[in-house]
Amino acid sequence: MYSMPVKYAAVLLGVAALVPGGTGVARPANETLDPETKVRVERFEKGPATIDVSKYPEALKDNYELFSQKCMQCHRLSRPINCDYALPAEWERYIKRMMHKPGSGIGTGDAKKIFDFLVYDSSIRKKALVDEKLATATPEEKKAAEDKIKEIRDKYAKP
Ligand code: HEC
């Protein structure tokens, strides 16, 4: 089991106290998922829970720390690490979805840094998946994705 950070546990306890007859605190992420989502996220969570960032640019190592801190408050970090999402547009969609969940504590600045990290990381660690997705994307989607990946790789490249 993962351990829930104190801050998030406190938020949940506060909510539970407001629910009449509410007893015990359930793990926030999985219990209410529809069956299809549950199967999918359990598959994602089976893989490793850390990324070897030793060869990544320094600034992206910091972004990895932020990602690790923010994105395992409600579920295992293995969920985003091993999921099938890899393109910039997919990360944008999922990071927005996560930051808007109650109590996420993920601001716009954090979201941008996490986005840069996940796009860069996917372009290295999930390169085969990125290529596979781009092979079936529309020309516009392909160009937008390639431009964004290049922009982020240039931004963090060592001078
Ligand atoms: C406030 C709680 C919370 C935080 C913080 C959070 N998540 Fe989630 N996450 C969830 C829940 C709940 C689900 C279940 C499915 C859904 O709602 O999308 C989920 C599901 C996911 C999924 C699987 C989505 C799917 O349907 O296939 C990914 C990937 C993911 N989260 C990534 C992240 C990333 C990246 C971050 C950090 C930016 C993050 N999560 C932070 C609550 C959270």
**Model confidence pLDDT, tens digit, residues 20-75:** 433 333 345 445 899 999 999 999 999 999 999 999 999 999 999 999 999 999 99
pLDDT score for 17: 42
Q: 135, 87 in Cβ contact below 8 A?
A: no
Residue 98 or 6, more confident: 98
CB 158 within 8 A of CB 120: no
pLDDT of residue 153: 97
For ligand 1, is residue 8 a contact (CB within 6 Å)? no
Q: pLDDT, tens digit, for every residue of 96-126?
A: 999 999 999 999 999 999 999 999 999 999 9
Burial grade of 129 (CB within 10 A; 0-12, 13-18, 19 or more): middle
Closest ligand 1 atom number to CA of residue 97: 18
Q: What are phi and psi of 108, to 5 degrees?
A: -65, -40
The pLDDT of residue 16 is 44
In a domain, 146, yes or no: yes
In-domain check, residue 145: yes
In-domain check, residue 21: no
* Atom number, ligand 1, closest to the C-alpha of residue 85: 29
Ligand 1 pocket, mutate which of 70, 101, 110 (most atoms under 8 A from CB): 101
Is 78 among the domain residues?
yes
73 in any annotated domain: yes
Angle, to 10 degrees, between the axis of helix 139-156 and the axis of helix 127-135?
Answer: 150
Q: Whose CA is nearest to atom 2 of ligand 1?
A: 74
pLDDT attached to residue 32: 84
Q: Assess if residue 106 is contained within a domain.
A: yes
Of the chain, the end-to-end C-alpha distance in Å amounts to: 42
Name the residue range of residue 141's domain. 32-156
pLDDT at residue 6 in the model: 56
* Residue to probe by mutation, ligand 1, list 51, 75, 93, most atoms within 8 Å of CB: 75
* CA dist., res. 114 & res. 104, Å (int): 13
Indicate whether residue 98 lines ligand 1 (CB < 6 A): yes
The position carrying tokens 């351990």 is 3
Q: CA of 158: how far to CAs of 55, 56, 122, in Å? A: 12, 10, 19
Evaluate: CB of 95 within 6 angstroms of ligand 1. yes
Both structure tokens of 139? 């020309």
| Predicted confidence (pLDDT) at residue 9 exceeds the cutoff of 70 | no
For ligand 1, atom 30, the nearest C-alpha belongs to 80
Q: Is residue 136 part of a domain?
A: yes
CATH of the domain at 72: 1.10.760.10
Indicate the pTM of the whole model: 0.85
Total domains in the fold of the chain: 1
Q: Is 5 in the pocket of ligand 1 (CB under 6 A)?
A: no
Instruction: Report whether pLDDT(159) > 70.
Output: no
- Classify residue 23: in a domain, yes or no: no
71 lines ligand 1 (CB under 6 A): yes
